Chain A
Amino acid sequence: MSRLSIITPDYAQTVVENLYKDVERRITASPPGICPIDISNAFLKMCHAQTCGKCVPCRVGLTQLSSLIDDVLDGNATLEHISLIEKTARVIKNTADCAIGYEAANMVLRGVIGFRDDYTEHILNRRCRFNIYQPVPCVALCPAGVDIPGYIALVNDGRCADAVRLIRKDNPFPTACAFVCEHPCEARCRRNMIDDSINIRALKRYAVDHSGIVQAPENAPSTGKKIAIIGGGPSGLSAAYYLSLMGHHAEVFEKRDKLGGMLRYGIPSYRLPRERLQEDIDCILSTGITVHTGIEIGRDITIPQLKDDFDCIYIAIGAHNDKKIGIEGEDKRGVISAVEMLRSIGDNTLPDFTKKRVVVVGGGNVAMDCTRSAKRLGAESVTCVYRRRRVDMTALPEEVEGAESEGCDILCLQSPVKISGDEDGNVTSIWIQPQIAGEIDKSGRPRPVNAKAEPIRLACDIVIAAVGQGIEIQPFEEFGVKVKRGVIDTLASNEVTNIDGVFAGGDCVTGPATVIRAIAAGKVAAANIDEYLGFNHIISTDVDVPLPRLDVKPACGRMNTKERSAGERNTDFNLIETGLTEEEALVESGRCLRCDHYGYGIFKGGRVDKW
Chain B
Amino acid sequence: MVNLTIDNIPVEVNENTTILEAARLAGINIPTLCFLKDINEIAACRVCIVEIDGMDRLISSCNNSVREGMVVYTNSPRVREARRINVELILSQHNTSCAYCPRSGNCTLQKIANDLGIYKIPYKNIIPKTLWSHRAILKRDASKCIKCMRCIQICDKVQTLHIWDIDGTGSRTTVDVSHNRMIMDSDCSLCGQCITHCPVGALSARDDIGKFYDALADSEKTVVVQVAPAVRAAWGEELGISREQATMGKITAALKRMGVDYVFDTDFSADLTIMEEGNELLKRLSEGEHKYPMFTSCCPGWVRFMKSQFPEMVGCLSTSKSPQQMFGAILKTYYAGLIGVPADRLYFVSIMPCVAKKKEASLSTMNSAGTGQDVDLVLTTREFVQIIRSEHISVDHLSEIPCDQPIVTSSGAGVIFGTTGGVMEAALRTAYAVAEGHNPEPDAFREIRGEGGIREAVFTIGGRDLHVAAASGLGNARKLVKAVKSGKAHYDFVEIMACPGGCSGGGGQPIKDGSELYGIRGSELYNLDKNSEIRYSHENPAIVSLYENYLEKPLSERSEQLLHTDHTAWEMPLAPDDI
Contacts and interface: CB of A to CB of B under 8 A. Distances in A.
Given A550-B52, A550-B55, A550-B59, A128 B169 contact: yes
Contacts of A75: 129, 131
A130 B63 contact: no
Contacts of A129: 180
Contacts of B176: 127
A113 interface: no
A435 B180 CA distance: 51
Contacts of A38: 169-170, 172
Interface in B287-346: none
Interface in B15-62: 16, 41-44, 52, 54-56, 59
B238 interface: no
B56 A552 contact: yes
Interface in B165-191: 165-170, 172, 176, 180
B166 A127 contact: no
Interface in A120-170: 121, 125-132
B499 to A, nearest CB: 24
B42 A603 contact: yes
A98 interface: no
Interface residues of B, number: 28
B222 to A, nearest CB: 45
Interface in A22-65: 33-35, 38-39
B65 interface: yes
A552 B52 CA distance: 11
Nearest to A598: B43
Contacts of A34: 169-170
Chain A contact-residue range equals: 20 to 34
A128 B167 contact: yes
Contacts of A550: 52, 55, 59, 64, 67
B270 interface: no
B272 interface: no
Nearest to B169: A35
Contact of A602 (B41, B129, B167, B180): B41
Contacts, number: 55
B65 A547 contact: yes
A540 B131 CA distance: 42
B170 A131 contact: no
A131 B59 contact: no
B496 interface: no
B149 interface: yes
B170 A35 contact: yes
A600 B127 CA distance: 23
B55 A552 contact: yes
A602 B67 contact: no
Contacts of B63: 602
A33 B149 contact: no
7 contacts: A35-B169, A128-B167, A128-B169, A132-B166, A550-B52, A602-B41, A602-B63
Given A75-B129, A550-B67, A552-B54, 20 more contacts: A35-B169, A38-B169, A38-B170, A73-B172, A74-B172, A75-B131, A128-B167, A128-B168, A128-B172, A131-B165, A132-B166, A547-B65, A550-B55, A550-B64, A602-B41, A602-B42, A602-B43, A603-B42, A603-B149, A604-B166
Interface of A: 33-35, 38-39, 73-75, 121, 125-132, 547, 549-550, 552, 602-604
A278 to B, nearest CB: 40
B131 A132 contact: no
Given A126-B131, A129-B180, A33 B169 contact: yes
Which of A39, A130, A550 lies at the interface centre, i.e. has the most chain B CB atoms within 10 A of its CB? A550
A127 B16 CA distance: 40
Nearest to B165: A131
For the complex of A and B, the 4 pairs showing the least CB-CB separation, nearest first, are: A35-B169, A603-B42, A128-B168, A127-B180
Nearest to B63: A602
A152 B169 CA distance: 28
Given A550-B52, A603-B149, A35 B44 contact: no
A173 B56 CA distance: 40
A127 B131 CA distance: 11
Contacts of B42: 602-603
A523 B131 CA distance: 42
B456 to A, nearest CB: 23
Interface in B434-477: none
B525 to A, nearest CB: 36
A549 B172 CA distance: 31
Interface string B65-96: 10100000000000000000000000000000
A462 B567 CA distance: 79
B44 A603 contact: yes
A127 B167 contact: yes
Contact of A35 (B41, B59, B65, B168): B168
A252 B63 CA distance: 48
Contacts of B16: 547
B152 to A, nearest CB: 8
A346 B131 CA distance: 64
Contacts of B167: 127-128, 131
Contacts of B165: 131
Contacts of A74: 172
A74 B127 CA distance: 11
Nearest to A549: B67
Given A550-B52, A602-B43, A127 B168 contact: yes
A32 to B, nearest CB: 10
A152 to B, nearest CB: 19
B59 A125 contact: no
A36 to B, nearest CB: 9
A135 to B, nearest CB: 10
A35 B174 CA distance: 13
A542 B67 CA distance: 25
Given A38-B169, A75-B129, A132-B169, A121 B149 contact: no
B305 to A, nearest CB: 21
A140 B159 CA distance: 27
Contacts of B152: 604
A604 B155 CA distance: 13
Interface in B128-150: 129, 131, 149
Contacts of A547: 16, 65
Contacts of A127: 167-168, 176, 180
